[in-house]
A = this chain, B = another copy of it.
């Protein structure tokens, strides 16, 4: 821990110029002789001068800092968004102030006040699910962009993954493999994600004129439920040849359950998961075909649009971003695996 930090005043003194000239030299402005600029730069280097962002922000009204407000302690969704945002902002240009409200509205208000008092230039709100959430607050003095979980207010700017389209894509993949008896196991129906994915599932089947195998099985987002669903499904309808699961956790559990009952994946039953959560999708056997929601792209996009909004070019509405089907062994055609 060294002593006091150098100010532009110290730099100016050492270089033998006024503060104004030092400022101009350091910021690469005109109206300063090359030799003088040289001297100032040398002085700044010597003192390892770092401009005080507080003073600068106070004057300009821009802090080059954005707040990221999340409720997703585990970081499943917040982290990719953060990474994407950092990318979009450019290395070191923008800083991100991260707050975790842990699903508590009071805490969220608290964080919100703290962020505003720090004069962030904008705000990204990351939902813990794709369920629409209350708008963070009316009449905020800074623009807000919602990522993953959209705002209830359609005049806000929101970015969500295209769950419907992705589910349809997954089912079309199964249909293309010749599977015709396709079941659907997913999470609780109070999740919009579950409902959207089911909608996509139905749409794709309808377009192909294929009937769903059994009823959609709603449970929880866990491996345990996947295993349990496998038991029930194989009992009730032994003829199924494919399953579209609402999450990788469910898919991983389902694969286990299938194997325990002596059926093979993908030969007997092809399985598609959702999330592309690597620890489950690539490490289990067989590796899971699954939907990647491109959360990093989503985060980057949200950040870019936040930029635009800061510049006064907001793009209100709920924007849907495409997902990607990652094909792995759990849907290999027979004999290929």
A residues apposed to B, CB below 8 Å: 1-2, 5, 50-55, 57-58, 63, 65, 68, 73-75, 79, 82-83, 86, 91-93, 95-100, 107, 110-111, 113-119, 139-143, 222-224, 227, 249, 252-253, 256, 277, 279-280, 283-285
- What residues on B are CB-neighbors of A249 within 8 Å? 279, 283
Shortest CB distance A58–B (Å): 5
Could you name 24 residue pairs across A and B whose Cβ atoms are closer than 8 Å? A50-B113, A53-B117, A54-B58, A58-B58, A65-B118, A73-B79, A73-B83, A75-B75, A83-B100, A91-B110, A92-B114, A93-B114, A95-B115, A95-B118, A96-B97, A96-B98, A97-B97, A227-B285, A249-B279, A249-B283, A256-B285, A277-B279, A279-B279, A279-B280
Are B1 and A140 in contact, CB atoms less than 8 angstroms apart? yes
Are A2 and B141 in contact, CB atoms less than 8 angstroms apart? yes
Q: Which of A53, A68, A74, A83 has the most CB of B within 10 A?
A: A53
Q: Which of A79, A93, A118 has the most CB of B within 10 A?
A: A118
What are the nearest 7 A-B pairs in CB distance? A92-B110, A75-B75, A223-B283, A98-B98, A75-B79, A2-B139, A54-B58
Q: Measured between alpha carbons, how far is A116 from B277 in the docked complex, in Å?
A: 35
- What residues on B are CB-neighbors of A55 within 8 Å? 54, 58
Are A54 and B118 in contact, CB atoms less than 8 angstroms apart? yes
Q: Measured between alpha carbons, how far is A119 from B223 in the docked complex, in Å?
A: 46
Are A141 and B1 in contact, CB atoms less than 8 angstroms apart? yes
Q: Measured between alpha carbons, how far is A325 from B280 in the docked complex, in Å?
A: 24
Shortest CB distance A112–B (Å): 9
Are A223 and B284 in contact, CB atoms less than 8 angstroms apart? yes
Q: Measured between alpha carbons, how far is A143 from B1 in the docked complex, in Å?
A: 6
Q: Measured between alpha carbons, how far is A141 from B5 in the docked complex, in Å?
A: 7
- What residues on B are CB-neighbors of A256 within 8 Å? 285
Known: A5-B141, A79-B79, A96-B98. 9 other contacts (CB 8 A): A1-B140, A1-B141, A52-B117, A53-B118, A54-B55, A92-B111, A95-B118, A224-B283, A227-B285
Are B119 and A53 in contact, CB atoms less than 8 angstroms apart? yes
